[in-house]
Structure formats: structure tokens, C-alpha cells
């Protein structure tokens, strides 16, 4: 049996990037031999094993053939006769289809090294089409390596286009798609992920609500970039530049979906887009089974981002409602994330990337003012139940009035 390091570990070493996960491929072995050496099988009918000590993944060399639609539709053919070249040819990208032995000798039959130098994401063979998730993977790699000037090869983009049009993407499970989407959003240039998906027609299939924002104008006075799609990409770019967490990045991507529903006659204005967008945000959230914290923040940012921008003009009663909607007393972190998303929205506009956002500190101050209202004195006065709730609200409103007056003095 021969063992080679494959995939991302080889690619990232050649790129001079840190290697975290190491995948191995095993040539000339049977399942029985692996088990006899103490490897633990992953799943019942998958020829992948975990090393007894390191826990790293060792896969038997295999060829894959498609037997039906979607992820379930694979049959695996693993046998000791499958060669390294046969295993590598069924992989997604040439830069992921290199192998290395323990002397760091490279096996590179599909010219991954040449494509690394040319900064090209290129598919290895027509077998690329066996797994439609690869459309998302390529877009994710484009986002990750955009800073190194990588682009998608035109023939690969064409294949991604065909896959997007074939209806195959619809068969992907929510879990697999979300894993790619969430990883892509956490890359340095997540906007490139959306751009590449759009370019190959996958965005229209996966998130038609986001795709619909391109070509929709906004008022130039607030949005020098005009186009709502371009704005969304810039907001995402800012979120990455400011190292925001996944929740904030997800909310940034979805915050303006309502603008895609505005009748053309009303352009470039988007009356009540915040509220109109909620059902679209909900649909996208549910389509990908996004985690609860991502879902919640996206809906709250969608509904209240304009409140965030107008914070300094809001009446104390509206401020109070905003704070209540966020349950800011028990969930301070979520309100911080809302503020961050609003700030990214304000900066994700052409020429305004460096603007200050005094609303952020103002909102933090308002939350603090409302939070400092003590419940104990009200309990001592004998308030209970609903009345107690009302009394706390009155006190918080008083605190917010005082806060607003002090801030504008």
C-alpha cells in the first residue's frame, strides 16, 4: 500500500499558506487491510477511514460514478487496482488534484502547479459535474484566494453555468449548501463568492432574492453606487474588512432583499422595503436551514436597519421599542451585532467607506441608559406582574428621554 498527502494540504503548502487539515489517499489497499491496521471506518459504505492515532482522514483511492440526482446519487468504486492518477482525475480543481509522498515528491498529472502559478481555478475533467456542490466550492475558493489574484478559468465557469442551468443545484441538501455558504462568507473577500455565483447563473437558482437586487437603482444621494446589488456586495466587503462574525455577514447579505420587490414605478425609492423584505429573508433562512442566531439577526437587521441609521432622530418611545424588540437587556451581544451590521450598511456605499457612524455609540448609550433602570425600587413600591412590566417601561422611557436631551445638549 502507498500513502499520499492530497488535496488542500498540498495546495496550501505550495501557496505558502498554513495547513490545518491533512487528507491522505491510500493506493493498493483493501478495506480489510485498513481495518487490520487499526483504522476506523467513517460511515458504513464510504471508503474513508480515520487514523487510529492522528484522527486524520485516509481515503481508499476510488473512482466515482454518478447513479442519480443529488448527493445521494453516488456509487463508489474503491479497489486496490485504482491508481493515483485515476483517483486525482475525479477531483474538483487541478490545484486540489496534486499528491505528495513522504519525501515531498509531487505527483501532478493535471498541472495543478502550473495553474497555481497562473492563479487559475480550473476543473480537472468532466467528472467535475458529478458533484454540483463544486459550483459553490469554486466560488468559495475564488473568495478565499481573490487576494492572491486567482480567477475562475473560463471553461470552468462555462461548466458551472451548465450545471446551474441543469437543475442539479436544486438537489443539493440545505446542510451541504450552508456549509459552503457559511465558510465562503467567512473568507477575506466574501463578495467574490456572490459575484462568481452570479456570473455562472447559480445565484439565480440558490438565492434568487439576492440575484434580483442587481439592476435595481437606489437614490444617488444616499447611495452613490446606485445599484442595490453592488451595494450589497460592498456591505459584505466591509463586514469582512471589519472582521465581523458570520451572523453579521449573513445579515449584511440579506438586509435589503425587500428592495427587489419594489415596483419599477417607485424606483429609485423603496418605501417600506424593510418590512416587505422579511418574508424573503425568512425564505432564504429556511432554504439553507441557517443557524438560529444567523436567522434571527438577519430578520432583525432587515426590519430595523433604517432605525439604526436614524438613531439620533428617533423619539425616545421609538428607541424604547427598538431596544425591546432586541430584548437588549438579556441579549446585549445581539444588539451589538445589529449595530455592527448597520455600520457596515452605512459604509458599504461608494466613496463612503471611511465615514464615521455616530449612530453606533448613540445606540450603545441608549441601551445602557435603558439597562440602568433598577427593578428593585419598583418591587419595593409593590408593583407586580403586568403592572411591574409597565412601570419598568415608564422608567426606561424616562431614562431614554434624559439620555436624548443630554446627548443633544
The site for ligand CTP (CB under 6 A) is made up of: 7-8, 21, 23, 91-92, 96-97, 131, 133-134, 137
Q: Which lies closer to ligand CTP via its Cβ, residue 89 or residue 397?
A: 89
Q: Is the omega angle on the peptide bond into residue 131 within 30 degrees of 0, that is, cis? A: no
CB of 331 to ligand CTP, least distance (A): 32
Degrees (nearest 5) of the Cα angle 3, 8, 12? 115
Q: Which lies closer to ligand CTP via its Cβ, residue 89 or residue 299?
A: 89
CB of 140 to ligand CTP, least distance (A): 7
CB of 19 to ligand CTP, least distance (A): 9
CB of 134 to ligand CTP, least distance (A): 5
CB of 10 to ligand CTP, least distance (A): 8
CB of 14 to ligand CTP, least distance (A): 12
CB of 91 to ligand CTP, least distance (A): 4
Q: Say if residues 250 and 298 touch (Cβ distance below 8 Å).
A: yes
Nearest to residue 212, comparing CAs of 158, 163, 164, 277?
Answer: 277
- Where residue 89 falls (left for φ over 0; alpha for ψ -120 to 50; beta otherwise) is alpha
Q: Which lies closer to ligand CTP via its Cβ, residue 64 or residue 293?
A: 64
Q: Which lies closer to ligand CTP via its Cβ, residue 131 or residue 345?
A: 131
Q: How far is CA 188 from the centre of its chain?
A: 11
Taking CB atoms, the residue at the shortest distance from ligand CTP is 8
Q: Say if residues 264 and 153 touch (Cβ distance below 8 Å).
A: no
CA dihedral 258, 263, 266, 269 (to 10 degrees): 20
Q: Which lies closer to ligand CTP via its Cβ, residue 134 or residue 259?
A: 134
Q: Which lies closer to ligand CTP via its Cβ, residue 134 or residue 305?
A: 134
Q: Which lies closer to ligand CTP via its Cβ, residue 19 or residue 402?
A: 19
CB of 183 to ligand CTP, least distance (A): 7
Q: Which lies closer to ligand CTP via its Cβ, residue 124 or residue 370?
A: 124
Amino acid at each position: 500500500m502507498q500513502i499520499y498527502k492530497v488535496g488542500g494540504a498540498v495546495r496550501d503548502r505550495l501557496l505558502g499558506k498554513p495547513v490545518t487539515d491533512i487528507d491522505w489517499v491510500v493506493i493498493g489497499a483493501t478495506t480489510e487491510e485498513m481495518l487490520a491496521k487499526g483504522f476506523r471506518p467513517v460511515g458504513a459504505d464510504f471508503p474513508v477511514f480515520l487514523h487510529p492515532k492522528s484522527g486524520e482522514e485516509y481515503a481508499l483511492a476510488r473512482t466515482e460514478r454518478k447513479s442519480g440526482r443529488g448527493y445521494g446519487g453516488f456509487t463508489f468504486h474503491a479497489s486496490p487496482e485504482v491508481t493515483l492518477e485515476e483517483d486525482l482525475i475525479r477531483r474538483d480543481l487541478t490545484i486540489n488534484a496534486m499528491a505528495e509522498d513522504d519525501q515531498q515528491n509531487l505527483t501532478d498529472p493535471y498541472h495543478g502547479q502550473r495553474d497555481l502559478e497562473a492563479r487559475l481555478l480550473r476543473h480537472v475533467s468532466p467528472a467535475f459535474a458529478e458533484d454540483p456542490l463544486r459550483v459553490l466550492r469554486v466560488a468559495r475558493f475564488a473568495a478565499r484566494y481573490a487576494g492572491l489574484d486567482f480567477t475562475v478559468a473560463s471553461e470552468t465557469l462555462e461548466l458551472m453555468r451548465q450545471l446551474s442551468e441543469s437543475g442539479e443545484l436544486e438537489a443539493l441538501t440545505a446542510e451541504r449548501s450552508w456549509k459552503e455558504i457559511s465558510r465562503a462568507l467567512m473568507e477575506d473577500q466574501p463578495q467574490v463568492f456572490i459575484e462568481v455565483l452570479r456570473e455562472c447563473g447559480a445565484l439565480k437558482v440558490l438565492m434568487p432574492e439576492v440575484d434580483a437586487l442587481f439592476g435595481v437603482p437606489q437614490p444617488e444621494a444616499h447611495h452613490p453606487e446606485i445599484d442595490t446589488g453592488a451595494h450589497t456586495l460592498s456591505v459584505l466587503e466591509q463586514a469582512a474588512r471589519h472582521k465581523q462574525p458570520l451572523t453579521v455577514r449573513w445579515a449584511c447579505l440579506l438586509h435589503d432583499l425587500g428592495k427587489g420587490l419594489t415596483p419599477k414605478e417607485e424606483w429609485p425609492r423603496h418605501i417600506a422595503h424593510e418590512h416587505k423584505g422579511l418574508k424573503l429573508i425568512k425564505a432564504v433562512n429556511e432554504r439553507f436551514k441557517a443557524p438560529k442566531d444567523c436567522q434571527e439577526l438577519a430578520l432583525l437587521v432587515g426590519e430595523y436597519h433604517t432605525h439604526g441609521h436614524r438613531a439620533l432622530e428617533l423619539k425616545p418611545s421609538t428607541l424604547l421599542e427598538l431596544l425591546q424588540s432586541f430584548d437588549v437587556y438579556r441579549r446585549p451581544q445581539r444588539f451589538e451585532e445589529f449595530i455592527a451590521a448597520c455600520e457596515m450598511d452605512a459604509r458599504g456605499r461608494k466613496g463612503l467607506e471611511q465615514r464615521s457612524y455616530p449612530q453606533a455609540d448613540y445606540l450603545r448609550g441608549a441601551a445602557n441608559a435603558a439597562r440602568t433602570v433598577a427593578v428593585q425600587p419598583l418591587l419595593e413600591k409593590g408593583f407586580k406582574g403586568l403592572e411591574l412590566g409597565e412601570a419598568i417601561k415608564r422608567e426606561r422611557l424616562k431614562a431614554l428621554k434624559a439620555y436624548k436631551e443630554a446627548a443633544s445638549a
